[in-house]
Amino acid sequence: MSEALVLAAKAGVEPETRLSGHTRRSCGQYGSRCKGAIGHGPQVQSRIRINLHIKDLNNVLETSHELNVPLPLMASVMEMMQALKVDGMGELDHGSLVRFYEKMATVEVKR
What is the reported pLDDT for 53?
92
- Average pLDDT for 2-10: 63
Structural domain count, the chain: 1
Q: Is residue 111 part of a domain?
A: no
Q: Is residue 61 part of a domain?
A: yes
What is the reported pLDDT for 30?
38
Q: Who contacts 29 (Cβ-Cβ below 8 Å, separation ≥6)?
A: 44, 46
Which residues span the domain enclosing 38? Answer: 2-105
Q: Is residue 42 part of a domain?
A: yes
- Average pLDDT for 2-19: 63
Integer CA distances (angstroms), 4 to 11, 39, 72, 78, in order? 10, 30, 12, 14
Greater model confidence, 34 or 4: 4
Q: Check: pTM over 0.85? Answer yes or no.
A: no
CB-based burial label for 37 (10 Å; 0-12, 13-18, 19+): buried
Letter string b/e over residues 54-73, b meaning 16 or more CB atoms within 10 A of that residue's CB: beebeebbeebeeeebebee
Q: Does residue 108 carry a pLDDT above 60?
A: yes
Q: Does residue 58 carry a pLDDT above 50?
A: yes
What is the reported pLDDT for 78?
95
Q: Is residue 110 part of a domain?
A: no
Q: What is the CATH number of the domain that holds 85?
A: 1.10.1040.10
